[in-house]
């Protein structure tokens, strides 16, 4: 059994801690102010951790022992109802060195929201502590004008909806207009603006036949059912073979896993190697399907014949399960929240993707 934390509602307290990166520099400092105001206007009390504005670490906000101590303290505190991570980052793996996930099994389950480097906390939280976590926006993601993605993230925390759908458009980084002048005073920047969408979302769906992934047409319906699991593959690859790798035990207990994966810094070739590494480590032994988000660095790129499609399909095609690619998950906006550890039914047809939580 994977425990589902109690949903929150206006009047509850949200703790903001920085287990990796925090808003100690611009533009994140100013964005945090907008985010805090938006959440307070919704009726939540914000409790700030001491790590929030620290800047004395190497590749991380502060000493990993300090970051871990506050993270665990926040998880245990009765006056904090949910936690939103202060940011993504690079070295949260050093923080979880000092997190006892077995001990967290005995604590009251609590929602934790974050993405990217926060995979380091959410993935073991699900696979070891057996508690659901939400792969979604960090605190700065709530600084903008709230649209459906931000409302969906709050709905996941508040338990007000069980179906999450993809979005019609996205922001292709390659098409974004770059500012003509350097910003020197962020206090004058208005972050309360919507996304500047510049591309139509296009899903590419595959079924596997005779050990190969075959692209299907827009009229073919894909269905999956299982436990949602995954996160940022840049992070997951580093957990393989460590004491935080409990996938053999997890696969014994849960025979139906829907992997939800996305990549940040990986090139098409490093992406391909990473997926191979996870497959060969037996992580995908209980896979019943894959939902793959748009990869930030590898999106639309090619290296020696490798692209962000075959980096996945050539490696997992032999598993004989469906694959949905370029979903609204991860580092390319917008992204829908994924409740990792939740049992779900997934439907995909053409550009339509729906995740129904049970």
Q: How many CB atoms lie within 10 A of CB 228?
A: 24
pLDDT of residue 239: 98
Residue 180 has pLDDT above 80, yes or no: no
Residue 209 has pLDDT above 90, yes or no: no
Mean pLDDT of the chain: 96
Say whether 274 sits in a helix, a strand or coil.
helix
pLDDT of residue 48: 97
pLDDT of residue 197: 95
The single residue listed with the structure tokens 């779900």 is: 344
pLDDT grade for 188, boundaries at 50, 70 and 90? confident
CB 339 within 8 Å of CB 357: yes
End-to-end alpha carbon distance in the chain: 13
Rounded-to-integer distance, Cα 304 and Cα 167, Å? 32
pLDDT of residue 179: 76
Going along the chain, which residue ranges are E strands?
A: 13-17, 45-48, 82-85, 111-114, 133-135, 163-165, 169-170, 199-200, 204-209, 212-215, 221-232, 257-262, 287-293, 302-303, 306-307, 323-327, 338-340, 343-349, 352-357
The single residue listed with the structure tokens 């409790």 is: 47
- Please indicate whether residue 71 or residue 209 has the higher confidence score (pLDDT): 71
pLDDT of residue 181: 80
Q: What is the pLDDT of residues 98-139, one digit of tens each?
A: 999 999 999 999 999 999 999 999 999 999 999 999 999 999
What CATH number should be reported for the domain whose range is 197-357?
3.50.30.60
Q: Alpha carbon 103 to chain centroid distance? A: 24
pLDDT of residue 184: 83
Please provide the size of the chain in residues.
358
pLDDT average, residue stretch 175-186: 84
Q: What is the pLDDT of residues 301-326, one digit of tens each?
A: 999 999 999 999 999 999 999 999 99
Q: What is the pLDDT of residues 8-51, one digit of tens each?
A: 999 999 999 999 999 999 999 999 999 999 999 999 999 999 99
* pTM: predicted TM-score of the whole model, two decimal places: 0.96
Residue 285 has pLDDT above 90, yes or no: yes
Q: What is the DSSP letter of 131?
A: B
CB 152 within 8 Å of CB 164: yes
Q: For residue 30, report the phi and psi dihedrals to the nearest 5 degrees.
A: -70, -35
What CATH number should be reported for the domain whose range is 13-161?
3.40.50.10740
pLDDT grade for 221, boundaries at 50, 70 and 90? very high
Rounded-to-integer distance, Cα 125 and Cα 102, Å? 9
Beta bridge partners of 132: none
């Amino acid at each position: 059994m994977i425990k589902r934390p109690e949903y929150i509602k206006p009047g509850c307290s949200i703790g903001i801690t920085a287990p990796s990166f925090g808003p100690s520099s611009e533009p994140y400092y100013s964005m945090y102010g907008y985010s805090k105001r938006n959440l307070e206007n919704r009726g939540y009390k914000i409790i700030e951790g001491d790590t929030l504005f620290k800047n004395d670490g190497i590749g991380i906000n502060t000493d990993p022992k300090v970051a871990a101590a506050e993270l665990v303290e926040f998880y245990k505190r009765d006056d904090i109802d949910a936690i939103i991570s202060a940011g993504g980052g690079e070295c949260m793996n050093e923080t979880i060195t000092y997190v006892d996930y077995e001990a967290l099994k005995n604590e009251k389950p609590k929602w934790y929201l974050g993405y990217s480097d926060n995979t380091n906390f959410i993935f073991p939280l699900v696979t070891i502590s057996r508690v659901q976590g939400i792969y979604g926006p960090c605190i700065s993601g709530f600084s903008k004008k709230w649209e459906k993605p931000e409302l969906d993230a709050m709905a996941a925390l508040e338990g007000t909806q069980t179906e999450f759908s993809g979005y019609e458009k996205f922001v292709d980084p390659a098409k974004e207009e770059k500012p003509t002048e350097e910003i020197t005073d962020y206090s004058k920047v208005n972050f309360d603006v919507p996304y500047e969408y510049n591309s139509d979302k296009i899903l590419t769906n595959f079924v596997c036949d005779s050990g190969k992934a075959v692209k299907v047409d827009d009229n073919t319906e894909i269905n999956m059912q299982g436990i949602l699991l995954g996160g940022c593959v840049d992070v997951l690859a580093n957990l393989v073979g460590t004491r935080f790798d409990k996938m053999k035990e997890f696969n014994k207990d849960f025979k139906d896993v829907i992997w939800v994966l996305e990549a940040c810094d990986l090139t098409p070739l490093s992406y391909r190697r990473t997926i191979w590494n996870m497959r060969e480590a037996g992580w995908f032994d209980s896979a019943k399907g894959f939902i793959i988000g748009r990869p930030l660095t590898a999106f639309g790129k090619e290296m020696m014949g490798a692209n962000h499609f075959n980096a996945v399909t050539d490696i997992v095609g032999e598993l004989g399960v469906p694959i949905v690619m370029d979903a609204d998950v991860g580092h390319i906006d917008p992204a829908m929240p994924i409740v990792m550890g939740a049992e779900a039914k997934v439907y995909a047809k053409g550009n339509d993707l729906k995740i129904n939580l049970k």
